[in-house]
Structure 1
Amino acid sequence: MEFAAADLVALAAGALVGLTLGLVGAGGSILAVPLLVYVVGVASPHVAIGTGAIAVGANALAGVFLHARAKTVKWPCALVFAAAGVVGAFGGARLGKMVDGELLLALFGLVMIAVGVSMFLRRGDGGNAEVHLDRASARKLLPSLIGYGLAVGFLSGFFGVGGGFLIVPGLIGATNMPILFAVGSSLVSVSAFGFATASSYALAGLVDWHAAALLLAGGLAGAVLGAALARRLAARKALLTRIFAATVIAIGLYVAGQGALVFL
């Protein structure tokens, strides 16, 4: 593939990641790694993980500002969850770099399948919109926030994904906040986990900076388009989420199969 053509493919992959984030509120990170490996042509799965983490972290940070303006971020809960998750993400990233790249892809595919299934099973909105972390609620909320944060952060770092699909149910499980607030609050962790994972891989020389810049540029454009489409298709958001869940499962089956073939 010519260099210019490869650049266009990387931009298009980034746009797809950003479009998915803007349209269904998550999922960009779980697509970034397979897109980098199988579409953009990044040879090493480890380099794909480090590269994708940078773009995911930056795109999520932009999302934080949008949700903060809409006042759908529970800041104390989000910051505690993110801080615990960063610790877990560093540990997960360190372990992930020690695992064979093809095995990591196979495991990543299995996680994609599980995530897709969980999207089909996700319940509607609900929860306590007034929940907040303070001195009175700390004894109850802190252990849950820290425990969930460590576990989700570890998985995020190990597989090199932002972990939005894990963070949202993690925040709901820890605090019983409504999904709208969980989505907004989750982007704080997605950004933190992404940059923690990316820094770990960057220090090991496992980042393609050129591809990361192209992925980020495409992602920002895709996010704007995705947000606009989401507003127009709000009434069909549940259908769009199910379609995306099916896509994630299909890609997960392919990725897991490709990784498993190496060991057969």
Structure 2
Amino acid sequence: MSGVLTSGLATGSGGVVGLILGLVGGGGSILAVPLLTYVVGVSSPHVAIGTSALAVSFSAAGNLVPHWRSGMVKWRCAGAFSLAGVLGALAGAAAAKAVDGQSLLALFGVVMLVVGGLMLRKRRSAGDPDVRLTRRSAPVLLPWLLGIGFAVGLFSGFFGIGGGFLIVPGLMLATGMPLPMAIGTSLVAVSAFGAATAASYAASGLIDWPLAGLFILGGLLGGLAGASLGKRLAGHKRALTLTFAGLVILVGLYIVARGALPLLGATS
């Protein structure tokens, strides 16, 4: 594959992820690894995961700004959750690098099936918008924030994904904050987990830096287009989410099927 074609595919793939993030508001990053593997042609699943983690971190940091400005980020809760999650992400990334690449990819397909199924469910949006992590509330909130944060970070680091589909309900469970604030606050954790995972993979030489740059560039452009289009389609967000969930499930089935074929051949 020529360098120009690879560059175009990397930028376009990043654009697809950014567009979905702009339209749906989250979850699009789970397509990064399949796009890098099957569209861009990254041969190593570990390099695809490391490169994806870096792109996810940048994307989340960029999307955080408008949520911050609108007062939808609970910084103290985000800090505690992220601190524990970064430790989990580093442990998860270390474990993932010890797993065979193709086995890791097959497991990733299973995760996509689970994520797609979770996206089909409606989220509750009620909660306490005034919840805060203080000295008085810490004995109740802190154990939940640290425990759930570490568990989600472990999962995120192992698969090199943002984990927003787990972080959002995790924050709501730990603190009781409403959905819009959980979404804004989750971006702090997604950015931190992605950065920790990327750092671990970078230390092992498992990031394709030029591809990551092109993917991030495409993501920024796609995100702008998605945000603009998302405003026009605001009344159809549920339909968009269901459509994306179906796409995630189909891609997950494809990855699992590809991973199962060698096993079937070995047993026949």
* TM-score interval, normalised by the smaller of the two chains: over 0.9
Where in structure 2 are there 5+ consecutive unaligned residues?
Answer: none
Question: Aligned pair 1:87/2:87, yes or no?
Answer: yes
CA distance in 1, matches of 2:204, 2:124: 41
Asked if structure 2 preserves the Cα contact closer than 8 Å seen for 1:85 and 1:189, the reply is yes
Partner of 1:37: 37
Residues 4-63 of structure 1: CA distance to partner in whole angstroms, max 9, x if unpaired?
111111110000011111111112221100000000000000000001111110111111
**Residue 123 of structure 1: how far off its partner (Å):** 2.3
Residues 152-194 of structure 1: CA distance to partner in whole angstroms, max 9, x if unpaired?
0000000011111111111111112111011100000110000
Question: Aligned pair 1:263/2:256, yes or no?
Answer: no
CA distance in 2, matches of 1:136, 1:8: 53
Tell me the C-alpha RMSD between the 2 structures. Answer: 0.9
Partner of 1:112: 112
Amino acid in the other structure paired with 1:229: L
Residues 80-128 of structure 1: CA distance to partner in whole angstroms, max 9, x if unpaired?
1111100000000000000111111111111111111111123231111
Amino acid in the other structure paired with 1:85: G
Question: Aligned pair 1:126/2:130, yes or no?
Answer: no
Partner of 1:208: 208
Asked if structure 2 preserves the Cα contact closer than 8 Å seen for 1:64 and 1:184, the reply is yes
Which moved further from structure 2: 146-155 or 124-133? 124-133
Partner of 1:28: 28
**Residue 234 of structure 1: how far off its partner (Å):** 1.0
Asked if structure 2 preserves the Cα contact closer than 8 Å seen for 1:53 and 1:194, the reply is yes
- What does 1:217-236 correspond to in 2, within 5 Å? 217-236=217-236
Amino acid in the other structure paired with 1:254: Y
CA distance in 1, matches of 2:100, 2:122: 32
Residues 185-215 of structure 1: CA distance to partner in whole angstroms, max 9, x if unpaired?
0000110000100000000000111110100
Amino acid in the other structure paired with 2:56: V
Partner of 1:246: 246
Where in structure 1 are there 5+ consecutive unaligned residues?
Answer: none
- Structure 1 length-normalised TM: 0.98
Question: Aligned pair 1:65/2:69, yes or no?
Answer: no
- What does 1:5-20 correspond to in 2, within 5 Å? 5-20=5-20
Asked if structure 2 preserves the Cα contact closer than 8 Å seen for 1:77 and 1:132, the reply is yes
Partner of 2:159: 159
**Residue 262 of structure 1: how far off its partner (Å):** 2.6
CA distance in 2, matches of 1:86, 1:55: 17
Asked if structure 2 preserves the Cα contact closer than 8 Å seen for 1:102 and 1:262, the reply is no
Report the count of equivalent residues: 264
Identity rate of aligned residues, in percent? 56
CA distance in 2, matches of 1:261, 1:150: 34
**Residue 231 of structure 1: how far off its partner (Å):** 1.2
